A and B are shown apart, each in its own frame.
Chain A
Amino acid sequence: MIELSQEEQKMLDGEISKAASQSMEILVALGRIYGAKRMIPITSAQVSGVSYKTIGQAGLEYLQDLVEKGAKTIVPTFLNPAGMDSEQWREMKIPEDFAKKQIKILDAYAKMGIMKTCTCAPYFIGIRPKLGEHIAWAESSAVSFANSVLGARTNREGGPSALAAAICGVTPEYGLHLDENRIAKIAVKIECELKTTADFGALGSAVGKLVKRKNPAFTGIKTASEEQLKVLGASMAATGSVPIYFIKNITPEYNVEENVDEIVFGEKELEESKDQLDSKEKPQLVTIGCPHASIKEIEDIAQMVSAKRPTCDFWICTSRKIKELAIERGYNKPIEAAGGKIVADTCMVVCPLESMGFSITGTNSGKAAKYLPNLCKQKVAFGDLEDILYR
């Protein structure tokens, strides 16, 4: 049985607000199911379920109902991407009705005290919990990055459970909050050179499908940038719900159970995975930034497209903060001159691409490649940027 502090009991009993009571009920249920002995304080929360496209009218009503019941977050809380750029939605040709509903969702979150960061990569705008810090994050790729690359501790929260944790300031202590569960149960030996971000995307997509709920530990990866780790984790989370991984000599933690099975991933497997993801067609639109692009990625693209103009339209999806920084540094100019757009607050997966006239979209992310066909009715052109921007 889970033991609650006086303050937590008050929340459950409805002495703070109806919203806090309903939220604590969700947390207590999760704690009971997972055998948590107590709640632990969190230092931040990150909430998914922001785009009108994914949560729909039902989600909007759920959030408005929470606001009416007095929901207020009591730890710093950040938002996942929305379904549109909140400033440039008309330029993006977002339908008016969609935009109205989207604004209502953002308003509901803001009323609860949540910061409208609208990014799936909060770690690129300075939100970087430290090794061992307890948090409740929901965006599956950010969960993977926080656990694996930063060494912070979060379970793979659902949108509503992360929101409940934000309102109560605590989360039940189970799963990845505990040392004994932060351990890999399958080994992945890399026997090929991983050069581009697309290589990490293809690796992540393949491994996510193979590991079957076991957390993987990689050996044989010599170097990897944060941008590449971002794509590796996002892709494994999308195809296999992987919430944490380790890489020998790269991640701050590296724990592997003894005598685990080993998967070998070489040149052949890499090519096979890329082949499976790629329709081989020429994209009408290339979308970069799944998860959201860092300033370094935007700088690299600005250089690439100034040297040679891409043969299709392209969007770079990122947070508003990074977009502002890119404009400050002048990266937007060569990008716009080459037919590109920097789009903030949203991404190719959660905006209504299918109603914007596109049917073939290019990406270097295993996560986008997974979601574009079903969520946006797109054919996918998968590959390195040097490939898909110039097909």
Chain B
Amino acid sequence: MEIKARSISKGKACGEVLLSTEPIGFLGGVDPETGNVIEKGHVLEGQNISGKILVFPNGKGSTVGSYIMLQLAKNGKAPVAIINVAAEPIIITGAIISGIPMVDEPNQDIFSVLKNGQIVEVDGEKGIISFQ
């Protein structure tokens, strides 16, 4: 099955889905050394985003978030791809400079179609999310 989305950052990646129904702020929200979500009370608190297809509505919080994404990538702890509902510049710039494939505006309700742990492929260039 395929979901059409908008191309944000180039590259193709395949991995397990990790859903966050809440926005993510990378500065202070994610530990750049481990990829653990550390924001108190966040729906993903204590979970690890490394190697995942990270699905969340949009970014929030500090504009330094782009550099936290870059640190995650250099430490090998970044998500392999990002799907946003409506991307904002912090996450977009972070994905581009970190080389993380990214799409947004999927044409279906992504949170009801995808399940945690499901294997999905994201094509950042074509803007396609595909799965079995």
Task: Give residues in A with beta carbon < 8 Å to B.
Answer: 26, 29-30, 33, 48-49, 54-59, 61-62, 138-140, 143, 155-162, 213, 238, 240-241, 370-371, 373-375
Cross-chain pair count, CB within 8 angstroms: 109
Q: Which single member of A55, A56, A156, A371 contacts B90 (CB below 8 Å)?
A: A156
Q: A30-B93, A374-B28, A374-B29 are in contact. Are A56 and B63 (CB under 8 A)?
A: no
From residue 47 to 89 of chain B, which have CB atoms closer than 8 A to chain A?
Answer: 58-68, 70-71, 73-75, 86-89
Q: Specify which chain A residues have a CB less than 8 angstroms from the CB of B88 in the assembled complex.
A: 156, 241
A348 to chain B, nearest CB (A): 13
Contact A159 B92 (CB under 8 A): no
Which label, helix, strand, loop or mixed, suits the secondary structure of the A interface? Answer: helix
From residue 1 to 43 of chain B, which have CB atoms closer than 8 A to chain A?
Answer: 6, 8-9, 23, 25, 27-29, 32, 38-40
Q: Specify which chain A residues have a CB less than 8 angstroms from the CB of B104 in the assembled complex.
A: 33
In the complex, what distance in Å separates the CA atom of A30 from the CA atom of B88?
9
In the complex, what distance in Å separates the CA atom of A64 from the CA atom of B116?
39
B113 to chain A, nearest CB (A): 22
Contact A138 B63 (CB under 8 A): yes
Q: Specify which chain A residues have a CB less than 8 angstroms from the CB of B67 in the assembled complex.
A: 49, 54-56, 58-59, 62, 159-160
In the complex, what distance in Å separates the CA atom of A371 from the CA atom of B25?
11
A351 to chain B, nearest CB (A): 14
Q: List 6 A-B contacts (CB under 8 A).
A: A49-B67, A56-B32, A143-B63, A156-B89, A374-B29, A374-B40
Q: A26-B96, A57-B74, A241-B61 are in contact. Are A159 and B89 (CB under 8 A)?
A: no
Task: Tell me if B101 is interfacial: C-beta within 8 Å of chain A.
Answer: no
From residue 91 to 108 of chain B, which have CB atoms closer than 8 A to chain A?
Answer: 92-94, 96-97, 104
